Amino acid sequence: MKTRTVHSGVDVRGAPPPEENTNEKLNGTRDATVTLPMITPNCRERLTASDFEFIAGTLGAGRNNTATLAELLTDAEMRDTILDSEALFQAVLQGDAQLRISPQCYFYILLRHVLKDRGIVNRETCDYLASLLETFSRTERMRAPGGAGHGPQQYVSDLLLALQKASASQAFLLRAHIGNYTLFISGVFQDRVESRSRRGGPDIEFLEGVGAANFQSAAAHPFARQHSLSPIFGELSERFHDLRLALNETAEKHLHMDETPPLLFT
C-alpha cells in the first residue's frame, strides 16, 4: 500500500488554493498577525482534468468514454456516486505515491471510505474534512515545536485570547479556525499532542472541548446562517470526537506526515 507524504508547509500537489478561500488577519499576543483560512466543503466541485483522467482510467473507461464520464461528473448526484466507488479507493491505496490527482480529490476519496466505515455518511462533512486536510497540509503560517518549519508560531491560547478583541466578523472566522485547528492537530497528530500533554501541554480532551465549543458558536453566527454553513458547523461540533478519530485513522493508515508537523500545541 502506498501513502502520500504530506510535507510541512508545502502543498502536497502544488494545486492553487480554493477560490472561495478568504483570509482575515488578527493581532496576536506572540505574533504580529495570524492569517485565518476560510475552509468550505467544495472539494467535489474542484475536480481537475487530471482527476477526470484518473477516475476514467480506474473505472475502465477508454478514451472514447472519457468525455462521457467527465459529463457525468458534472452532475452532482452522479459525481457523488462515482466518487464512492470502492475501485477508486483501492486505486488510491495501491497507486504510485505521486498520483497525478489533486489533493482535494485524494483526501476526499480516502476520507469518504474511512468515514463511511465509521457510520458518518454525510458527504458535506467528508468534503469539509478533505478541504481541511488540503488547506492545513500546505499552510506556511505555523511551525513545529522546537522552531522547525517556517512562518509565525500559532498557539491555541493566543487564538482564544484574540477572541476578546475580535470584531464580529473576525470572531466568526477565528472561532471557525480554532475549531479547524484543534480538530486537525488532535486528529492528525494525536501522538504528539499526547506526548506534549505529559509535559504540561493541552491534552486531547481539552482540544476536543475547545474545538467543539467554537464550532458550535460559529454555527450560531449570522454569517454561517447566511451562507448555509450552520449545519456543517453544527455537525462538526456534535461529532467532533468521532471526526477526530476518523482523521487519526486516516493519518495513521494512509498518510505519512513529516517528522516536524507545522504546528504548535500550547
Write the CB contacts of 243 (distance below 8 Å, at least 6 apart in sequence). Answer: 120, 125, 129, 183, 187, 236
Q: Report how far residue 142's alpha carbon sits from residue 253's, in angstroms, rounded to the nearest whole number.
A: 24
Single out the residue of 145, 199, 202 nearest to residue 178, CA to CA.
Answer: 202
Asked if 176 and 219 count as a contact pair (C-beta separation under 8 A), the reply is no
Number of neighbouring beta carbons within 10 Å of residue 238? 14
The larger pLDDT score, comparing residue 34 to residue 50, is at 50
- Domains identified in the chain, total number: 1
pLDDT, mean of residues 37-41: 82
**Inside any domain, residue 60:** no
Which three cell numbers mark 25? 488577519
The predicted-structure confidence for 161-187, as pLDDT tens digits, reads as follows 888 888 888 899 999 999 999 999 999
| Phi, psi dihedral angles at 23 (to 5 degrees) | -125, 145
Which domain range does residue 230 map to? Answer: 4-47+102-257
Helix (H) or strand (E) holding 25: strand 23-26
Q: Angle of helix 63-73 relative to helix 49-58, nearest 10 degrees?
A: 120
**Inside any domain, residue 202:** yes
**Inside any domain, residue 13:** yes
**Inside any domain, residue 225:** yes
For residue 194, pLDDT over 50 is answered with: yes
64 confidence band (pLDDT: 50, 70, 90) = low
**Inside any domain, residue 106:** yes
Q: By three-state DSSP, how is residue 39 classified?
A: coil
**Inside any domain, residue 67:** no
| Residue reference for cell 482535494 | 104
**Inside any domain, residue 212:** yes
**Inside any domain, residue 54:** no
